[in-house]
Amino acid sequence: MALIDDLRRIASGRVAQDEPMAGYTTLGVGGPADYFVEVMSEDELSSLMKYVTENGLEWMIIGDGANLLISDKGIRGIVIRLGEEFSKIEVDGMRITAGSSARISKVADVAAKNDLSGLEGVGTVPGSVGGAIVMNAGTHRGYIDEVTHSVRVVTYTGEKRVLSKAECGFTYRNSRFQWDRTMIITYAVFNMRRGDGAAIQEHLDSVRKHRAETQPQGKSAGCFFKNPTGLSAGKLIEGAGCKGWREGGAVVSGIHGNFIMNADNATATDLYMLAERVRDQVREVHGIELEYEVRLIGEW
Ligand SMILES: Cc1cc2nc3c(=O)[nH]c(=O)nc-3n(C[C@H](O)[C@H](O)[C@H](O)COP(=O)(O)OP(=O)(O)OC[C@H]3O[C@@H](n4cnc5c(N)ncnc54)[C@H](O)[C@@H]3O)c2cc1C
């Protein structure tokens, strides 16, 4: 039986071959994935993981694609996405359990409605719960690790496990899941603090408004590079004279130097070439090596 038929037997969500990835990323670029599979339950995911491992297939999981630069050549193997079933948000006292495909901003809104504080920092950031855990996403107002109690995962052998916060290995904009690609996060449990719901919602709304007014609008993945300790990558890029630089349809934002935008039908190669030029210039001018925050996926 063909691989695609096996995948359709295992997963009840969208299953496709040669699926263009551009529509799954906020940058709006990325060539085709050999196979794309959307799973609707932990049991389906478990069966899929067993199948891919037994057959020695390559795989990767995507969330909302807000931090991905996928190559124009696409992705070899199977791209997995968690379907609607994984977007549930449950509140139990001071604890929130959220599925990996729930928007982290939605979880923060639900927290506010229930007078629960702790997700204000990350609740203004685009992306899913799973992606936020992997990236330890957040802002200077707080990162997701601060309230994470545990996560549920399905491993590459199909085993379901619970990992404590300590086992998640959080550091600045990083977690264990960036180097340990043996598991997929299905749910996260957050330990919240009691707060004033109206004040929390007002805070979330005002930060979102501020971001919409001050950050570049359009197709981006947010900040391209991590801030070197004690420094701002955006300021370094601006100081190196890169604002407004172009490569094909890609441009370094004139508003925020760390935003490399798909301004005009850019290819992934345009964006990557421009990012590499920026890194070279920052190295030459400041003697500092910028490290990518966006995840580079596929061949370059
Ligand atoms: C306009 C804009 C502003 C931004 N501002 C910020 C900001 O202020 N702070 C900040 O931290 N980030 C920011 N970002 C980046 C982005 O929002 C975060 O990195 C976000 O957490 C990515 O979530 P995602 O669901 O899109 O993950 P994706 O980009 O889809 O994936 C990110 C990584 O997580 C992995 N992954 C995704 N889901 C799972 C899962 N269920 N299990 C295991 N691995 C998984 C993927 O394989 C990939 O390696 C911004 C992005 C944009 C577009």
Report whether residue 260 contacts ligand 1, using a CB cutoff of 6 Å.
Answer: no
Q: Report the distance separating Cα 109 and Cα 95, nearest Å.
A: 14
Going by alpha carbons, the residue nearest to atom 10 of ligand 1 is 137
Report whether residue 138 contacts ligand 1, using a CB cutoff of 6 Å.
Answer: yes
* pLDDT reported for residue 124: 97
Q: Which of 36, 75, 133, 135 to mutate to test the pocket of ligand 1 (most atoms within 8 A of CB)?
A: 135
Cβ–Cβ under 8 Å, residues 260 and 236? no
Question: Does residue 18 have a pLDDT over 90?
Answer: yes
Distance 277 CA to ligand 1 centre (A): 24
As a whole number, the mean pLDDT across the chain is: 97
Res. 210 pLDDT band, cuts 50 70 90:
very high
Report whether residue 67 contacts ligand 1, using a CB cutoff of 6 Å.
Answer: yes
Model-level pTM? 0.96
Q: Report the distance separating Cα 252 and Cα 272, nearest Å.
A: 12
What would the pLDDT profile of 225-267 be if each residue is shown by its tens digit?
Answer: 999 999 999 999 999 999 999 999 999 999 999 999 999 999 9
Report whether residue 134 contacts ligand 1, using a CB cutoff of 6 Å.
Answer: yes
Q: Which ligand 1 atom sits nearest the alpha carbon of residue 173?
A: 11
Report whether residue 185 contacts ligand 1, using a CB cutoff of 6 Å.
Answer: yes
Domain ranges of the chain: 3-82, 87-214, 233-297
Q: Which CATH number fits domain 3-82: 3.40.50.2000, 3.30.420.10, 3.40.50.880, 3.30.43.10?
A: 3.30.43.10
Distance 5 CA to ligand 1 centre (A): 31
* pLDDT reported for residue 180: 96
Q: Report the distance separating Cα 125 and Cα 223, nearest Å.
A: 11
Distance 135 CA to ligand 1 centre (A): 6
What would the pLDDT profile of 152-201 be if each residue is shown by its tens digit?
Answer: 999 999 999 999 999 999 998 899 999 999 999 999 999 999 999 999 99
**For residues 202-212, average pLDDT:** 95
Please compute, for residue 242, the number of CA atoms within 13 A of its CA located in the half-sphere on the CB side.
Answer: 30
What would the pLDDT profile of 43-79 be if each residue is shown by its tens digit?
Answer: 999 999 999 999 999 999 999 999 999 999 999 999 9
What would the pLDDT profile of 122-144 be if each residue is shown by its tens digit?
Answer: 999 999 999 999 999 999 899 99
Distance 222 CA to ligand 1 centre (A): 9
CATH of domain 233-297: 3.90.78.10
Distance 278 CA to ligand 1 centre (A): 22
Tokens 């590079």, located at residue = 225
Distance 63 CA to ligand 1 centre (A): 7
Distance 67 CA to ligand 1 centre (A): 4
* pLDDT reported for residue 1: 66
* pLDDT reported for residue 96: 98
Burial class (CB in 10 A: 0-12, 13-18, 19+), 169: middle
In the DSSP assignment, the letter for residue 76 is E
Q: Which ligand 1 atom sits nearest the alpha carbon of residue 143?
A: 11
- Name the β-bridge partners of 82: 39
Report whether residue 131 contacts ligand 1, using a CB cutoff of 6 Å.
Answer: yes
CATH architecture observed for domain 87-214: 2-Layer Sandwich (3.30)
Distance 64 CA to ligand 1 centre (A): 7
